[in-house]
Amino acid sequence: MSPRRKVDDTVRDFFTVSATEPKAPRRWGLPVSAVLAFVVAVAAIVGSVFMVVEHTNLDRSEGRDAAALFYVRGFMTDYTSLDPFHANDYADRVLAQGTGEFAKSFKEKMNEIVVQVARAEPTTGVVQEAGVQRWNDNGSADVLVAATVKTTGPDGKTPIESGTRWVVTTIEEGQQWKISQLIQVI
């Protein structure tokens, strides 16, 4: 080989030190995929947290609905089941479960109610269906109730059944539910 050989710029001479070394091309694949993976992971975590919070809120709401419905069903069964032989006990039980406007009006009319219950035929109340209509700002719930009242006729043999509908407002005071309003819907 001749020392005067023409050196091509693309051919590298490993024995000489050159001030201008060609730079390797930048590879963007790894950093871009790492950033994308990070963004996807953050989005998945945020989505998971959002779903857990929504599930917890829904579970809490359903629990409150179930507790209010359970209480109102029991109250309305007792309220529509009259026992004329224990009229005073009936009135005391209903008054103990009342609060606010309902307790005030029931207490004012308690003597009249006791007399009416004592004169009535024994009845059995059955709640057919109940559902929460809405939750009010004060924490009370308006519950719609459909109930039937079964009794026997004056001859003691003929069954009589009548249906009633109610709007019951219930509120939780401490750890106990109470009735604050009771309206019969016609």
- Give me 33's structure tokens: 């995929």
pLDDT, residue 1, reads 52
pLDDT, residue 156, reads 74
Closest to 93 in 3D by CA, of 70, 69, 117:
117
Q: Is the CB of residue 186 less than 8 Å from the CB of residue 164?
A: no
What pTM value is reported for the model? 0.73
Domains of the chain: 32-185 (3.10.450.50)
CA distance 117 to 52: 51
Give the ranges where 109-179 is alpha helix by DSSP (H).
110-119
Q: Is the CB of residue 127 less than 8 Å from the CB of residue 81?
A: no
- The residues near 130 (Cβ < 8 Å, ≥ 6 apart) are 69, 72, 73, 76, 143, 144, 145, 146
CA distance 79 to 149: 10
| Placement of tokens 């590298």 in the chain | 12
- pLDDT by residue for the chain (186 residues), tens digit each? 556 666 566 665 566 655 566 677 788 889 999 999 999 999 999 999 999 999 999 999 899 999 999 999 999 999 999 998 999 999 999 999 999 899 999 999 999 999 999 988 889 999 999 999 999 999 899 999 999 999 887 777 788 899 999 999 999 998 899 999 999 998
Show the CA angle centred on residue 131, arms to residues 140 and 77, nearest 5°. 90
pLDDT, residue 131, reads 93
